[in-house]
Amino acid sequence: MRAACRSAAIQRAISLIQHVCDIAAPRNYLAETREYLLNAGIVSAVAAHDTPALYRWLMEAISYQGIANRIASDYLDRHGCVHWADVENGLRGPDPCSKLATYWTFHGCGYRKWARTCAVPPRLPRCIVPALPMRNGSLAQAAAALYLFLRDVCGGDFIGWIDDQLSRSKEPDAAPIIDAMRHIHGASDKVLSLALVPLLLGGRPGDALWQAAGAELIVIDTLVHNWLHRTGILNDLDARHLYGPKCYGPTGCADILR
C-alpha cells in the first residue's frame, strides 16, 4: 500500500474511532478500575506479592470465557472458584500423575469432564484436575496450568515476575507478559488482556511503568473486530482477516488500534 493511501486510511480510522469514543467511552474508567481493585483486595495483594490471592482473581477472569457472563457468574456462586490451596494440597497426594510434575510436562493433559477421559486414563481416578470446581474440563486444565505457571515459571512470585518482564524493555511493553502466558492452557490473548489491563492500570497506584504498560494492552473481542470490518477500516488498510489469533498479529486489529 502506498504511503499516501495508508496515511489517509489511518486518518479516517482515527476519526471514526475518536467519534465512537466521544459518544460511548466511560469518562471514569480509571477511577472505577482502581476502586474495584482496591475493594477486591488486589491492590493489597500486589503490594504483598500475594500470588495465591492473585491466582484466585485470575481464575475468576478465566472462568468467564466461552459463555454468557450470567451463566459463568451463576456457576461461580454455586460452586465457588478454585483456590491456590486446592491445587497445592492436591499435588501433595500420593503418586501424582506425571503430567502434573511441572508446568512443561502438563502440556497435553487432555482432561474432558463429561467424557471422563484424559491422556493418562489409569491416573484419572486419583487425579486432582477432575476434583477442581470448574465448569468444564478445559477450565479445570487451565486452573492446574495457571498454578504450575505461577509456581514454576514465576517462582511463586507473580508480581516480581511482572516487574522483571517490564524491566527488560526500554519502553513500557506488556507484550512479553502476554507472550509467555498465552501458552497456559485455556488462557487466550483476549482473556489475559482483560485481566492484565486493570491489574497494570490500577493494581499499583502511582507506578508509571505499570500504568503505561497497561495502556499499551488492547483487548479485541468479536464486537471490535466486526466493527473494524464493517466500517471498512480493515479493508482500507489491506488487513482483512478472520476473528481469532490474527487479530493480535502484525497488521491485526490490535496493531491497527495501537
Helix/strand/coil for 195: helix
- CB count in 10 Å sphere of residue 131: 14
pLDDT in tens, 19-58: 998 998 888 988 999 999 999 999 999 999 999 999 999 9
First to last CA, the chain: 19
Confidence grade of residue 118 (pLDDT, cut at 50, 70, 90): very high
Q: Write down the pLDDT at residue 27.
A: 85
For the record, the C-alpha cell of 183 comes out as: 501458552
Percent of the chain with pLDDT over 70: 98
- In whole angstroms, give the CA distance from residue 243 to residue 229: 10
For the record, the C-alpha cell of 249 comes out as: 498479529
Confidence grade of residue 72 (pLDDT, cut at 50, 70, 90): low
- CB count in 10 Å sphere of residue 34: 17
> Is residue 66's pLDDT more than 80?
no
Helix/strand/coil for 99: helix
pLDDT in tens, 141-186: 999 999 999 999 999 999 999 999 999 888 888 889 998 998 999 8
Confidence grade of residue 73 (pLDDT, cut at 50, 70, 90): confident
For the record, the C-alpha cell of 189 comes out as: 490473548
pLDDT in tens, 74-105: 777 787 788 999 999 989 877 789 999 999 99
Distance of CA 223 to the CA centre of its chain: 18
Q: Write down the pLDDT at residue 67.
A: 65
**Domain chopping of the chain, boundaries:** 40-219
51 or 133, which is more confident:
51
The overall average pLDDT reported for the chain is 90
Q: For residue 187, give the nearest of 199, 195, 197, 198 by alpha carbon.
A: 195
For the record, the C-alpha cell of 209 comes out as: 511503568
**Residue in the structure block whose three cell numbers are 474495584:** 36
Q: For residue 152, give the nearest of 106, 90, 97, 210 by alpha carbon.
A: 106
Longest dimension (CA), the chain: 67
pTM of the model: 0.86
pLDDT in tens, 220-246: 889 999 999 999 999 999 999 999 889
For the record, the C-alpha cell of 95 comes out as: 503418586
- 28 burial type by CB count under 10 A (0-12 exposed, 13-18 middle, 19+ buried): exposed
Q: Write down the pLDDT at residue 203.
A: 95
Contact 220, 244 (CB under 8 A): no
Contact 54, 149 (CB under 8 A): no
- In whole angstroms, give the CA distance from residue 163 to residue 165: 5
